[in-house]
Amino acid sequence: MHKIITTILFLTISLQIFSQVKISGNLETQNRIRIQNEGEFTWNKNSMGLKFEGNPSGDIHYFSEISLFSLGIPQVNQTSDLQDKDIAYTWGLEINELYLDMYCFLSDNLDIRIGKQIIAWGTADKLNPTDNLNPDDMSDIFDFGKHSGSNSMMLAYYLGDYTLYGVFVPVFQPSTLPSDDWSKAFNTPLDTPTGMNVVSFEDNILLPKNELTETSSYGFKIAGNMLDYDLSASYYYGRDDMPLLSSVKLNAVDTLENYDAEAELVYPRIQVFGADIAGSIGKVGVWGEAALIFPEEQKLKFYVNSALGGESVILEDKPFIRFVVGGDYTFKNNVYLNAQYMHGYIHERGVDELNDYFILRLERKFMYDKLNLAPVSAMVEIPDWDDIENIYGIALGSEISYYPYDAFEITLGSYILDGKGNSIFSKAKENDEIFFKLKYSF
């Protein structure tokens, strides 16, 4: 790994000196303290992002963004861990994007981008049901709506006011999931027959076979402008990037009904027909985005002591719709309001499993954008309209950002989670936190 860093530094300096590569980036520290658990320090990430880009000719452009990070909380459990510096002081290197653009390729109207890239589809704010080409990156639950780059090829053909997109992703990439203390919010507890106690749990992820027909995905989109609105329609053929249970094997460890559980998870095929719209009604900015999802039927098999104990359909092959509608408005006193309604979060699948969410953010900038106050960022989750009193979730946050110098940002904030019953925020209501961030861009 040290060789990699040396190589990066060498490349950085060499490229800067000997060519016209533009280098930019940022240094950032993020820190979080849990309000419960006596102020447990849950997150200390220090990172350096580096971007390299250049245009060797008018029709060629290259870009790469890498992130070098150090997690300040030691992952030491035993003395041997202290002998491995990478465990004692956890760090990593991520390639976020790395691609080559070829403009006006074969035709003046055709642009091609090849390489690891993030393709952002959809007009809603951060919650985009039509954005399925890149896997969700939930490794940091705070980085709402983040996607990982995918190795892919994108063609964009410009035809007057319309643009046609075609994307091919040769190899499936799964989503990254939140850490243990957050993943419980998205997981459904394992439903075992009465009387059985699961004493240990292990799971295996079954990725699609590494064959083009199994692992590849593709999508098309047409985008344009009509009647003063930006519109697009899209199609995606690929896989759900969140894993789904396909089998559970229960093996008895004693005669007292105690069992070891072993689960297998797969990524079901899906087809998604998407559409989005953005524009204004009067002075209010409005948008809407919907994804009609056709999933492949998925069965869950239960084995008890190696014998098939039952089989049920965990995901029906019935289409369902996830959608987001929203709007924003700036009041005379410069207070900015952004509100969205979402039906179906990324991990919810099937007509009967989709919950409703109301998202609202109030923001006001002062001192010519040097001070940004967001006193209210709220998300209200309603899984069951007939039982709101007993099943609901609320996330409430506030944030203050100050920019004392150009390109320098200090952010302090907090969020509080609450809820009842089987809701995301109810399951994570012990995770209230205060956070602090410093970022300098160069």
Partner 1 sequence: MNYLRTLATLITLIVISVVFAEDAQSVIKKVDSVMYAPKDQKSTMKMILTDKNGNVTNRAGVALQKGDVNRLIRFTSPADQKGIAFLELPDDIQYLYLPAFSKIRRIASHVKNTKFAGTDFTYDDLSSIYYSKTYDVKKLEEGEADITLELKPKSENTDYSKLIMIVQKESYYPSKIDYYDKGNNLIRTLNRNKITKFKNYWFALEVQMEDFRDNHKSQMIFEDVEFDTNLQDELFSKRYLKER
Contact residues for partner 1, defined by CB under 8 A? 24, 26, 55, 61, 101, 103, 111, 118, 120, 156, 158, 163, 225, 228, 230, 278-280, 282-286, 328-330, 334, 365, 367-370, 405-407, 409, 441-442
Between 55 and 151, name the residue whose CB sits nearer to partner 1.
Answer: 55
CB of 257 to partner 1, least distance (A): 52
* Phi, psi for 3 (deg, rounded to 5): -65, -35
Residues forming a β-bridge with 363 = 336
**Rounded CA separation 133/118 (Å):** 8
CB of 278 to partner 1, least distance (A): 5
**Rounded CA separation 103/354 (Å):** 41
Between 188 and 334, name the residue whose CB sits nearer to partner 1.
Answer: 334
Torsion of CA 153, 157, 158, 164, to 10 degrees: -90
Between 200 and 334, name the residue whose CB sits nearer to partner 1.
Answer: 334
One-letter-per-residue 3-state SS of 68-110 = EEEECCCCCCCHHHHHCHHHHCCEEEEEEEEEEEECCCCCCCE
CB of 176 to partner 1, least distance (A): 19
CB of 391 to partner 1, least distance (A): 33
Between 184 and 364, name the residue whose CB sits nearer to partner 1.
Answer: 364
* Other C-beta atoms lying within 10 Å of the C-beta of residue 46: 16
Q: What is the largest CA-CA distance in the chain?
A: 74
Between 71 and 231, name the residue whose CB sits nearer to partner 1.
Answer: 231
**Token code pair at residue 409:** 């940002």
Torsion of CA 150, 140, 242, 187, to 10 degrees: 170
Distances (CA, A) of 126 to 91, 143, 324, 325, 413: 28, 10, 10, 12, 19
Between 58 and 189, name the residue whose CB sits nearer to partner 1.
Answer: 58
**Token code pair at residue 270:** 């899906």
CB of 71 to partner 1, least distance (A): 23
CB of 167 to partner 1, least distance (A): 15
SS3 41: strand
Under DSSP, the state recorded for 385 is: G
Handedness of CA 164, 66, 89, 141 (dihedral sign): negative
Residues forming a β-bridge with 399 = 374, 413
Between 158 and 358, name the residue whose CB sits nearer to partner 1.
Answer: 158
CB of 45 to partner 1, least distance (A): 18
Between 162 and 358, name the residue whose CB sits nearer to partner 1.
Answer: 162
CB of 163 to partner 1, least distance (A): 7
Between 373 and 434, name the residue whose CB sits nearer to partner 1.
Answer: 373
Residue 292: CA count within 13 A, CB half-sphere: 7
CB of 46 to partner 1, least distance (A): 18
Between 4 and 407, name the residue whose CB sits nearer to partner 1.
Answer: 407
CB of 323 to partner 1, least distance (A): 19
Cβ–Cβ < 8 Å for 181, 431: yes
